[in-house]
Amino acid sequence: MTPDKKTALLERIAAYPRQDLIHRPTPMRKLERMTAELGGPEIWIKRDDLTGMAFGGNKSRKLEFIMPDVLAKKADVLVTWASLQSNWAMQTAAACVRYGVQPVLVLFKTYDLPPEPDGNILLDRLLGAEIRFKEAGKGKLVTQAGALAAVEEVAAEYRAAGKNVYVIPVGGSVPAADMDRPLGAVAYVAAFAEMLEQTRAAGFTPDAVVHSTGSGSTQAGLLLGARVLSPATRVVGISVSDSKDAFTEIVREVVEATERELGTDPVKAPKDILVFDEYIRDGYGIVNKEVADIIRRVFRAEGIVLDPVYTSKAFIGLVDLIARGYFKRGERVVFFHTGGTPALFPNRAFLV
Ligand SMILES: Cc1ncc(COP(=O)(O)O)c(C=O)c1O
The model's pLDDT over 70-89, given as tens digits with 9 standing for 90+, comes to 999 999 999 999 999 999 99
Full residue range of the structural domain in which residue 112 is found: 68-172
The band of 214, judged by pLDDT with boundaries at 50, 70 and 90, is very high
Q: Return the closest-CA partner of residue 178 out of 162, 201, 208, 155.
A: 155
Pair (151, 247) in one structural domain = no
Burial class from Cβ neighbours inside 10 Å (0-12, 13-18, 19+) for residue 56 reads buried
- Look at residue 1 and tell me whether its pLDDT is greater than 70: no
Q: How far is the CA of 235 from the centre of ligand 1 (A)?
A: 15
Q: Ligand 1, closest atom to CA 171?
A: 9
Whether residue 166 lies inside any domain: the answer is: yes
Please tell me if the CB atom of residue 239 comes closer than 6 angstroms to any atom of ligand 1: no
- Look at residue 144 and tell me whether its pLDDT is greater than 80: no
Pair (319, 194) in one structural domain = yes
Pair (324, 217) in one structural domain = yes
Pair (99, 132) in one structural domain = yes
Instruction: Tell me the pLDDT tens digit for each residue of 311-335.
Output: 999 999 999 999 999 999 999 999 9
pLDDT at res. 311: 98
Q: Among 51, 62, 87, 276, name the best residue to mutate to test ligand 1's pocket (greatest count of ligand atoms within 8 A of Cβ).
A: 87
- In the chain, how many domains are there? 2
- Look at residue 272 and tell me whether its pLDDT is greater than 60: yes
- Look at residue 232 and tell me whether its pLDDT is greater than 90: yes
Average pLDDT over residues 274-284: 96
pLDDT at res. 149: 86
Pair (197, 336) in one structural domain = yes
Query: Domain boundary at 148, 172, 196, which?
Result: 172
Pair (226, 293) in one structural domain = yes
Average pLDDT over residues 214-240: 97
Whether residue 63 lies inside any domain: the answer is: no
Whether residue 232 lies inside any domain: the answer is: yes
Pair (224, 81) in one structural domain = no
Q: Ligand 1, closest atom to CA 343?
A: 1
Q: Among 47, 51, 59, name the best residue to mutate to test ligand 1's pocket (greatest count of ligand atoms within 8 A of Cβ).
A: 59
Average pLDDT over residues 136-160: 80
Q: Ligand 1, closest atom to CA 211?
A: 4
Average pLDDT over residues 248-271: 95
Query: Domain boundary at 141, 172, 203, which?
Result: 172
Q: How far is the CA of 163 from the centre of ligand 1 (A)?
A: 29
CB-based contacts of 91: which residues, under 8 Å, 6+ apart? 53, 54, 57, 59, 60, 63
The band of 147, judged by pLDDT with boundaries at 50, 70 and 90, is confident
Pair (268, 334) in one structural domain = yes
Whether residue 295 lies inside any domain: the answer is: yes
pLDDT at res. 110: 78
Q: How far is the CA of 282 from the centre of ligand 1 (A)?
A: 18
Whether residue 177 lies inside any domain: the answer is: no
Please tell me if the CB atom of residue 308 comes closer than 6 angstroms to any atom of ligand 1: no
pLDDT at res. 101: 98
Q: How far is the CA of 160 from the centre of ligand 1 (A)?
A: 32
Query: Domain boundary at 172, 195, 230, which?
Result: 172
Whether residue 187 lies inside any domain: the answer is: yes
The band of 111, judged by pLDDT with boundaries at 50, 70 and 90, is confident
Whether residue 122 lies inside any domain: the answer is: yes
Q: How far is the CA of 173 from the centre of ligand 1 (A)?
A: 10
H helix intervals, the chain: 3-14, 32-38, 58-72, 87-98, 119-127, 144-160, 183-201, 217-229, 244-262, 289-302, 311-323, 348-351
Pair (241, 303) in one structural domain = yes
Q: Ligand 1, closest atom to CA 339?
A: 1
Task: Give me the CATH number covering residue 126.
Answer: 3.40.50.1100
CB-based contacts of 218: which residues, under 8 Å, 6+ apart? 58, 184, 188, 211, 212, 237, 336, 338
Query: What one-character-per-residue DSSP string does 170-190 give?
Result: GGG-S-BTTB-S-HHHHHHHH
Q: List residues with catalytic annotation.
A: 86
Average pLDDT over the chain, rounded to whole?
95
The pTM for the full model equals 0.97
Please tell me if the CB atom of residue 241 comes closer than 6 angstroms to any atom of ligand 1: no
Whether residue 104 lies inside any domain: the answer is: yes
Please tell me if the CB atom of residue 206 comes closer than 6 angstroms to any atom of ligand 1: no
Q: Return the closest-CA partner of residue 251 out of 211, 307, 281, 283.
A: 211
Pair (288, 188) in one structural domain = yes
Pair (96, 192) in one structural domain = no
Better-scored residue on pLDDT, 113 or 43: 43
Pair (98, 201) in one structural domain = no
